[in-house]
Structure 1
Amino acid sequence: MNKKLIYMLLLMVFSIVSVGCSSDSEKGAGKSSSDDAVELEMYSWRTEDRSAYEKIIEEFENENPDIKINFQPYESTEYNTILTNSLVSGTGPDIVQIRPYSGSRTIADNGYLVALDDVPGVLDIDESYLEAAKGSDGHVYGVPLTLNAGVIFYNQTIFDDLGLEVPETWDELIEVSKKMKENDITPIAQGGRDAYLLSMLHGVISPSAYGSDYVEDVIDGTADLQDDRMVKSLERMEELAEYLPKDFIALDDNDAQAMFYAEEAAMYINGDYRLETFETNIPDIPIGVIPGLKDDSSGEVSVMNWVDSSYGVVKDSNHPEEALKFIEFMATQEFGQLFSDNLNRVSAIEGVTADHEIVQKINQASEASSTPYLMLVHFGDGSPSTKTIFEDALQGMYLDQITKEELLKSAQENADRAAEEEVEELEMIEEDD
């Protein structure tokens, strides 16, 4: 497969409109400085985590003075194109943050990453986490960082001022939203300009509608995306629109966060990784978290989970030995604890205990009952992916351009096509072997 075709395939698989960048680095950015320490370039899309990563990296460098790591984060919406340009041209970083599931498979399958199966500690990580960082060949190409949860953040002061109880069910969520709207408070700060925000929103509220059994039925083939339970989840998405900001489809996530910061909105729905951002930017506002809404049928709280990104080593790195040494560090309990403490996240490394009370609450709820981020985990493959088709169509649904039934029909047709392509690709890999 030529490089131009690989480049186009990578851009099609990666989501979000991105802008390119140029680099003056030599092949495999790692280089030796004047003091003979090897310098490694590390790419990420977590600009808001720069200070935390620099603290963690400093701990590694103190133990390994012969290695220096330059943590270079880019805007999330630009990252995919920047990474693709670097990988295809061979002028990129040494260590890269990798999107989970289909994102890691695509890069690994095109030969850009080093397999990590032999790196000490990597295979000790929970197998379900490692699945998010594997190539189609079954090898592990990244060290998973954390298990994310889709949650509902809320401003405790607003609830207290209005005398409202924190909702635990869908009906209660709608009821408190009505009360907030009556008091000129936007119930939920939500953007929709970037379509992925809508599939995230759906992922958080939908388990209460379709229950945990639905996902299992989809996986074993006894149900599909046009199932009545999925239709019910979209009915809830339609109902929720009344309690989102006016013209929310034109708002991006920064706009939504700004509303939450200014206390113009009482709730905000996204991944639990926003906790550190909120506590940094609005430390004086008491924030609570609803890990998930209770399932209509079972009464259990179903927390939407997915494995976050992982970090891998670029095969073209000039210093693979040093890069792998940092990857080995990332698979240790020391790194996991540093990661959890500095970023208020649940580490993927066994034996790490979160200190933050809210993080503990989310973790306990996830352990009790969780369900996967359906679109990302099971429908992220294909060009375009069914996830992309689904979330783009959600925008259309809110703009009255498509019905929910048409949306699900389109998503299912794409899922069928993607499944056929995956079978063909696996057959090609087996033939090459």
Structure 2
Amino acid sequence: MKFNVGSSLGLLTGVVLLLTACAGNQESGGSSSNGDNEDQTQISFIHWRGEDAEVFNEIIEEFEEENPNITVEMNIYPSEQYQSNAQQMLRDGSVGDVFTSFPGSQFEVIQNAGFFEDLTGESFVDNFNAEAIEIGQKDGQQLALPYQMVFNMPVYNVGMFEDLGLEPPNSWSEFKEMADTLLENDITPIAFPGADIGPNQFMNSMMMNNAPDEDIFEKLENGEESLTNEWWVSTLENFHELLDHGYISEDSLGTQQDAAISQVAQGEAAMLATGSYHMASLLEQNEDLELDFLAPITVEEDEAIYEGIHTATFMLGVNANSEKQEEAKQFIEFLSRDDIASKYANETGQHLTIEDVDYTSDALQNTAYWLTDKETRFQPRFFITNSSVENAVLSSIERVLGGDDPMEAAETSQQVVEENID
């Protein structure tokens, strides 16, 4: 499998997250441990995937039928709240017997706090693709097991391209020619949900070939690189071209995720600048869509190294402070069974890191070749370990999409970087 995870993952360092009280979560699954069966053990499962609640409830019901002495209480939090509060929730072991983590800074923070139980040697680890789960390793231990293989690059309407005689472009000049053809047919090339998702996902494919060095953000945080250097300024110039030529709408920074999804589902836009995790939402609105991935190649064809972006995420862990670790491990083992993983994959539209998943949905079957045949790069944004630096990087893109000059935007953000890496 061509997962270019990169050696610098092991060099990621922790950041300090703001710890605040938890609120606004969704709760489902399981029953009280004080119920009719006094021998029941209730475990807590926490994560951020609200859109997966229905299928997880079904899976939990199946798990409880097979394991009548264990119940599962699931709590779901908005992703930003989860990133800020997960460490605090895990602290006393009463919540999150099974929990999930984002790769990168959140994984490092939780690892530094000692909240991951070591899963090395557990039999269910063999159910996962060995290369894909390297992101969950630290100091020779398997601390977390990524469940999802997400492609963080634009999803596009294959049928629309075929009707217009278009092929996925292999260079920046071809990309602009393709986008011009779409505009000539009154189609917005890229639906960009800048209001709630922003450039968090789209930046990765826009910079993957401008800065092929996988250590580029580590060097930025070490002061060895600068956002005013060519690799980032050229990326901002590419974003400026998208805006200047009308390839993304002028109000993209005010466009909500649901509106962008609707634009693509209704044929008003050709590409959605998010990732594979929105395929299911697109198909819910238009089941006739045929979808695939299209990462912009921002260099000429002979200079391109990467074809796309992937992330191994939704990293399953067992709370080291939990008194119910064996039951928690039973639940992870259940999730990693090929029949259960296949159910989750096909009902949520997600590719997984489990070895023997049976992808039955057309969307997953049609895009599964990206797992094996394409040269994809692990999401660069997750190599930024300082949240202030990450915000500076993202804000430089937002400034350009708001009309600022690329170099001026880079200089402003570089000043913030320097203030935060001393």
Unaligned runs of 5+ in 1: 1-7, 13-17, 421-433
What is the correspondence of 1:256-275 to structure 2 with a 5 Å cutoff?
Answer: 256-275=260-279
Q: Larger deviation: 181-190 or 406-415?
A: 406-415
Quote the residue 2:234 is aligned against.
232
What is the correspondence of 1:46-125 to structure 2 with a 5 Å cutoff?
Answer: 46-88=49-91, 91-122=94-125, 125=128
Q: 1:109 to 1:134 in 2, by over 3 A?
A: farther
Q: Percent identity?
A: 21
What is the correspondence of 1:67-216 to structure 2 with a 5 Å cutoff?
Answer: 67-88=70-91, 91-122=94-125, 125-135=128-138, 137-156=139-158, 158-159=160-161, 163-169=164-170, 170-194=172-196, 197-207=198-208, 209-210=209-210, 213-215=212-214
Equivalent-residue separation in structure 2 for 1:141 and 1:118 (angstroms): 11
Question: TM-score under structure 2 normalisation?
Answer: 0.79
**Structure with more relative contact order (C-alpha pairs < 8 Å, separation 6 or more):** 2
Q: 1:117 to 1:20 in 2, by over 3 A?
A: same
Equivalent-residue separation in structure 2 for 1:117 and 1:32 (angstroms): 33
Give the number of aligned pairs: 394
Equivalent-residue separation in structure 2 for 1:288 and 1:299 (angstroms): 23
Over the aligned positions, Cα root-mean-square deviation in angstroms equals 3.6
Give the deviation of 1:305 after TM superposition: 1.3
Give the deviation of 1:374 after TM superposition: 1.2
Q: 1:364 to 1:411 in 2, by over 3 A?
A: farther
Unaligned runs of 5+ in 2: 1-14
Give the deviation of 1:198 after TM superposition: 0.6
What is the correspondence of 1:3-42 to structure 2 with a 5 Å cutoff?
Answer: 9-11=16-18, 20-21=22-23, 31-36=33-38, 37-42=40-45
Aligned 8 A contact 1:393 1:402 in 2: no
Q: 1:198 to 1:80 in 2, by over 3 A?
A: same
Aligned 8 A contact 1:153 1:287 in 2: no
Give the deviation of 1:51 after TM superposition: 1.8
SS of the aligned residue for 1:309 comes to: strand
Q: Give the AA of the match of 2:350.
A: R
Equivalent-residue separation in structure 2 for 1:11 and 1:338 (angstroms): 36
Quote the residue 2:256 is aligned against.
252
Q: Give the AA of the match of 1:308.
A: T
Q: Give the AA of the match of 1:265.
A: A
Quote the residue 1:342 is aligned against.
347
Q: Give the AA of the match of 1:187.
A: P
Q: 1:168 to 1:22 in 2, by over 3 A?
A: closer
SS of the aligned residue for 2:154 comes to: strand
Equivalent-residue separation in structure 1 for 2:35 and 2:407 (angstroms): 58
Equivalent-residue separation in structure 2 for 1:246 and 1:32 (angstroms): 56
Q: Give the AA of the match of 2:331.
A: F
Quote the residue 2:379 is aligned against.
373
What is the correspondence of 1:350-389 to structure 2 with a 5 Å cutoff?
Answer: 350-367=355-372, 368-376=374-382, 378-379=383-384, 381-384=385-388, 386-389=389-392
Give the deviation of 1:357 after TM superposition: 4.4
Aligned 8 A contact 2:146 2:315 in 1: yes
Give the deviation of 1:348 after TM superposition: 1.1
Aligned 8 A contact 1:132 1:307 in 2: yes
For 1:165-188, what per-residue CA distance to the aligned partner results, in whole angstroms no more than 9, with x for missing partners? Answer: 143233333223223334433221
Structure with the bigger percentage of helix: 1
Q: 1:22 to 1:394 in 2, by over 3 A?
A: closer
Q: Give the AA of the match of 1:371.
A: R
Equivalent-residue separation in structure 1 for 2:16 and 2:45 (angstroms): 23
Equivalent-residue separation in structure 1 for 2:45 and 2:343 (angstroms): 18
Give the deviation of 1:85 after TM superposition: 4.7
- 1:393 partnered with 2:396: yes
Give the deviation of 1:100 after TM superposition: 1.2
